Structure 1
Amino acid sequence: MHSIRQTFAHDTWVMPYLRKYKWLLMLVLLLGTLTFLSAAALMFNSGYLISEAARRPDSIIYIYVPVVLARAFGIARPVFRYSERLTSHNWVLRIVSDFRKKLYQAVEVKASAIKQAHQTGDILSILANDIDHIENLYLRTVFPIVIGWLLYLFIIIGIGIFSWPTALLMALLLGVIVLVMPLLSVAVNGAREFKQKQIQSQFYTNLTDEVLGLTDWVISGRYADFMALQKKPINRIATLRRQDHYFQWWRGFAVQGCFLLAVVTLLVWSGTAFTATKGMANWVAAFALALFPIIEPFLEISQGASEWPVYQQSIERVNALSNDQPKKVPQSALKGPVTEINVDHVTFSYPDDDRLILKNVSLKIKQGEKIALLGPSGAGKSTLLKLLLGDQTPTKGTVTINGTPINELQQKRAQLFGVLDQQPYLFNTTVMNNVRLGNLQATDEQVKTAIEAVELKPLIDSLPDGYETEVQESGTRFSGGERQRLSLARILLQDAPIIILDEPTVSLDPITERHLLDTVFKVLHDKTIIWVTHHLAGVDHVDQVRFLENGVFDLQGTPQALYRDEPRFRKLYALDAGRND
């Protein structure tokens, strides 16, 4: 009970929706209870009907009412069952719809930093498993347990009206089924279910990581090792499932044994209490048979309880994802066009890391200015971009646009920034749809104009399906340079005033790289461009060059001035050009 209270102490997923849909939940529980009560009433009435028909086979008058009741209860049970299933799934689907919306919003809010805190497999595991587990929490645990307990109370109180000693004995026998067995299931099989869920979640994470690097596994000739890594957790899960099935068999056998004792108890009691006359003897079979339909929800209680540890872990995971949100920051409106980006004496270090990534860095960028940020890996270029975009907050100093802190402009981020990075993502849809993502209101003509501007019109026109050509997953239908140009067309449609180029040519050959850079700076000539790069190819397109090393700007100035005055710059320029002078 302590673990249950602890799980729901700061829960924002399960309890709020229980309260939101409480009346629908009560209807589900009522219909579920009525389903089994109708089944019990049918068996109770049938027991009486069979006994009375055997005692008076010569006249239907005496059994007319039980016959009618048998038909009524026989119809009521499937009607209540269908209504309960329809209502419960409607209830769960509403909640799951809210869950998925809430999850996607949680991922969206922290999308920029999510890969730092979570591996891809973690997110896939939450999307694929955890939401379904919370759905099953209601269908397989909450509903059966609550309905089973209600039936348990109904049986004990109903028998207690006739005989409290018998009711207490039945409470003991059935209590083993509805209380002891579930607790035993949580203690024994629940731990096994929890272990299986842990292995499966880790399997998702590892498999995703390994599949992303599958090409390297194959090239290195380690395909057999790759397969062996996958088989190990699969075999462990299979072993746990066999143990689970074994335990379930013995648990079901024990439940059936307790239930048999309960039926015998009822039979003995009714045989003693209702045999004073021949008419009263009709109730003996009625009481004994009435208990049989109750076995189904009683069995489900133990199974539902044993799965609680799995659901508990899922609840904790989704709460950890959604509760770990960035602090709310007041949002400001940007007045007028972007005239200046100002990085003012910024120092930055990541939490739990004393190493300073940036040290008192300052940078001013005017409207329409082009700046190149260079430096070795780990120098802080990517961190500076995150600060400019508002993905990170400076430890000291400020980052502003027109004097407004960047973290107050996040709601206008899509209108302020366009980003072209190393691997822009193209979705498995048409060329037209992929480019239109930059502006969903753009007309077909505007999309085609953007594609023409990035010099892809001849290529697209040559394709059999033209602009309706499927780009395939991740844009594999096109080459690296063509994918970059499609993404550039998307940025043109977006029409943001500030463009971030995060090493967009890193995987391209020199000729394609030069052509792409020429196109980029030509079509974005009126934009403010911040270009992160490792080398100097195409640096003549920019107004400023800043070398970032060890967290500070080591060299800065125009390309022409640096080439004239800095031997180091000239050497790097020559190396990039393939010369040794």
Structure 2
Amino acid sequence: MFTSGYTIDKAATHPVNILLIYVPILLTRAFGIGRPVFKYIERLKSHNWVLRVTSDLRTRLYKTLESDASFFNEHHKTGDIMGLLSEDISHLQNLYLRTIFPAVIAYLVTIIASIALGIFNPSFGFFVFLLLFVEVFLVPLFSVTIESARRAYQKQVKSDLYVQLTDNIMGVDDWIISGRKKDFQNLTTKNIDDLDKSKNKSKSFRRNRDFALQLFFVALAVCFLIFTNLTMTHNQEQANFVSAVVLAIFPLSDAIIPVSQGFEEWPLYKDSILRLNTLKPIQNRLPEQVDLKPEDFQELKLDNVSFEYDSDSPILIKNFSQTITRGEKLALLGPSGIGKTTILQLILGDLSPQKGQITINGMDVNKIQKNREKIYSVLNQKPFLFNTTLMNNVRLGNENRSDAEVKKALERVGLKDLVESLPDKYNTIVGENGSHFSGGEQERIALARILLQDAPIVLLDEPTVGLDPITENDLLKTIFEVLKGKTIIWVTHHLQGVNHVDQIVFINSKEIEMQGSPKELYQNNQHFRDLYQMDQGL
């Protein structure tokens, strides 16, 4: 713009040499062509730098979520976690690209321009500084004041929409069954409308503010015209620079106007920055790890174990003791909420008891956490199946196993005929969360994973919940047949299939109510006999 202005003024007088015009014209063309190139390079470098800066925080976020997922599930709703993942990192990147960088550049331009003019004319330099001060300080602060509450409201509404969306998707079957499809579709309509109205107000404010800033620059240009005509027209050499000086201020608007928008968005970024800066991965407090070989496992022992989730909650497990030897099958029974699944989490090492100790071969379970997948397999109520091929889902148990071994595992769990009747056979896509297979078939696929994993201890967390009695009986028979040599700890809520186990432990809120083999308890314990007959419908 400066060379363009100089060329305009110089062309108004007869040049001594054509080069006095031609050289600036070439420079103008070069700058005109080069400007988008330089702007692209600047954005490329700045984005690359920001992504490098944020990569450490991105890694910290995911490591924290992975290592302390239970904390997030306890303190945040699922929709909130979705919001954290989707917005926090992008907010941090936008803070650098849309707030910090533009502000720093605008402040530097303001200071340099004011000093440069101040050297030429101190009074006008100070006057320009005041005008630019309004643009880069006062207007941004005014934008924050006006938009802060509005942006906070938009963020809250968006967070509520995340939560509502999660709840609605998880409960969509119940909405459909109850015949309230329209209510389901309209459930978030009000929040969406409110969010749109608030965003439209923000857009209107932003348009009006930016237009006012542009008018402000026009006023600044007029001031420069007056100033240059008063101070730079005493001779021809000075006059040649009048347009150059005036036109040079217009590109400054590209550096100064975005500052207000960057400041305006700070309330959106503040919570994300505070949250990201306070995130810290859980410190690894595990003892020195021992690589226990699966074939060396002999005994799992729970010695006087007590556990509570926090000081305000009642003690969930109190003085629980049990010794389980290699190959033994143990069933844990008791009412819901008594802590049966918690015992499995303690055995895995996911939770630590406040009192007592859990050991494998005399070693604390915390010493085998690094390679615990060699020791434990888990089959729970709803095993997760990924939306990929059947072969890939089963191979999750051990990615080093061959296709033949995967097919053998599926045959052992009774799925061979079904799979080979499918068009794509073993390359059949199981669907999202296994939707192309029934509940019993999903459990059998997960059981095939366990066979590939080949760990000595298998934890069964009510794997037959929700299945009809015939399917449940067939699945239990398959489970105990294919896991014949394994140590099994089976959490169940009723007595169907207990004849497959060696020991039954029935716990209540205070203690172990009864324990023994199914045969012994049926013969000697009237309460167990009544429960068994009731469960069998006898």
Q: Shorter-normalised TM-score: what interval?
A: over 0.9
CA distance in 1, matches of 2:70, 2:409: 27
Q: Paired residue for 2:301?
A: 342
| Equivalent in 22, 35, 38 of residue 64 of structure 1 | 22
Q: Paired residue for 1:157?
A: 115
| Equivalent in 184, 187, 190 of residue 142 of structure 2 | 184
Instruction: Note the C-alpha offset of 1:56.
Output: 2.4
Checking the alignment, whether the CA contact within 8 Å between 1:174 and 1:258 is kept in structure 2 is: no
Checking the alignment, whether the CA contact within 8 Å between 1:110 and 1:326 is kept in structure 2 is: no
CA deviation string 1:252-275 (max 9, x = no partner): 133223323322222222222211
Checking the alignment, whether the CA contact within 8 Å between 2:318 and 2:511 is kept in structure 1 is: yes
Partner amino acid, structure 2, of 1:197:
K
CA distance in 1, matches of 2:400, 2:291: 23
Partner amino acid, structure 2, of 1:67:
I
Partner amino acid, structure 2, of 1:329:
L
Does residue 532 of structure 1 match 2:491? yes
Partner-residue secondary structure (3-state), 1:376? coil
TM normalised by structure 2 equals 0.95
CA distance in 1, matches of 2:510, 2:124: 81
Partner amino acid, structure 2, of 1:357:
L
| Equivalent in 194, 205, 217 of residue 247 of structure 1 | 205
Q: Give aligned-pair identity as a percent.
A: 49
The within-5 A match list for 1:68-467 is 68-95=26-53, 98-111=56-69, 114-319=72-277, 322-323=279-280, 325=282, 328-335=285-292, 337-467=296-426
Q: For the structure 1 residues 167 and 328, does the alpha-carbon distance in structure 2 shift closer, same or farther, using more than 3 Å as the test?
A: farther
CA distance in 1, matches of 2:523, 2:468: 28
Unaligned runs of 5+ in 1: 1-42
Checking the alignment, whether the CA contact within 8 Å between 1:112 and 1:391 is kept in structure 2 is: no
CA deviation string 1:385-421 (max 9, x = no partner): 2211122121222222222222333222222211111
Partner amino acid, structure 2, of 1:311:
Y
Checking the alignment, whether the CA contact within 8 Å between 1:126 and 1:318 is kept in structure 2 is: no
CA deviation string 1:178-210 (max 9, x = no partner): 111222222221332122112111210121012
Q: For the structure 1 residues 326 and 363, does the alpha-carbon distance in structure 2 shift closer, same or farther, using more than 3 Å as the test?
A: farther
CA distance in 2, matches of 1:555, 1:432: 43
CA distance in 2, matches of 1:48, 1:167: 21
CA distance in 1, matches of 2:282, 2:369: 14
CA distance in 1, matches of 2:291, 2:21: 84
Q: For the structure 1 residues 202 and 405, does the alpha-carbon distance in structure 2 shift closer, same or farther, using more than 3 Å as the test?
A: farther
CA deviation string 1:3-33 (max 9, x = no partner): xxxxxxxxxxxxxxxxxxxxxxxxxxxxxxx
Checking the alignment, whether the CA contact within 8 Å between 1:331 and 1:410 is kept in structure 2 is: no
Partner-residue secondary structure (3-state), 1:554? strand
Deviates more, 1:549-558 or 1:104-113: 104-113
Partner-residue secondary structure (3-state), 2:488? strand
Instruction: Note the C-alpha offset of 1:427.
Output: 0.5
CA distance in 2, matches of 1:98, 1:359: 42
CA distance in 2, matches of 1:239, 1:112: 37
Checking the alignment, whether the CA contact within 8 Å between 2:60 and 2:280 is kept in structure 1 is: no
Q: Paired residue for 2:514?
A: 555
Q: Paired residue for 1:36?
A: none
Checking the alignment, whether the CA contact within 8 Å between 1:173 and 1:261 is kept in structure 2 is: no
Partner amino acid, structure 2, of 1:389:
L
Instruction: Note the C-alpha offset of 1:326.
Output: 5.7
Instruction: Note the C-alpha offset of 1:219.
Output: 1.6
Instruction: Note the C-alpha offset of 1:334.
Output: 4.4
Deviates more, 1:57-66 or 1:557-566: 57-66
CA deviation string 1:518-541 (max 9, x = no partner): 111111111111110000111011
CA deviation string 1:155-197 (max 9, x = no partner): 2222222122211111111111111122222222133212211
CA distance in 1, matches of 2:39, 2:207: 26
Deviates more, 1:150-159 or 1:379-388: 150-159
Instruction: Note the C-alpha offset of 1:114.
Output: 4.3
- When the two structures are aligned, how many residues end up with a matched partner? 536
Q: Paired residue for 1:20?
A: none
Q: Paired residue for 1:24?
A: none
Q: For the structure 1 residues 548 and 334, does the alpha-carbon distance in structure 2 shift closer, same or farther, using more than 3 Å as the test?
A: farther
| Equivalent in 512, 527, 549 of residue 471 of structure 2 | 512
Partner amino acid, structure 2, of 1:516:
L
Deviates more, 1:190-199 or 1:114-123: 114-123
Checking the alignment, whether the CA contact within 8 Å between 1:356 and 1:551 is kept in structure 2 is: no
RMSD after superposition = 2.0
CA distance in 2, matches of 1:415, 1:118: 32
Partner-residue secondary structure (3-state), 2:370? helix
Q: For the structure 1 residues 327 and 354, does the alpha-carbon distance in structure 2 shift closer, same or farther, using more than 3 Å as the test?
A: farther
CA distance in 1, matches of 2:479, 2:300: 21
Deviates more, 1:395-404 or 1:526-535: 395-404
Partner-residue secondary structure (3-state), 2:319? strand
Instruction: Note the C-alpha offset of 1:351.
Output: 1.8
CA distance in 1, matches of 2:512, 2:144: 60
Partner amino acid, structure 2, of 1:338:
F
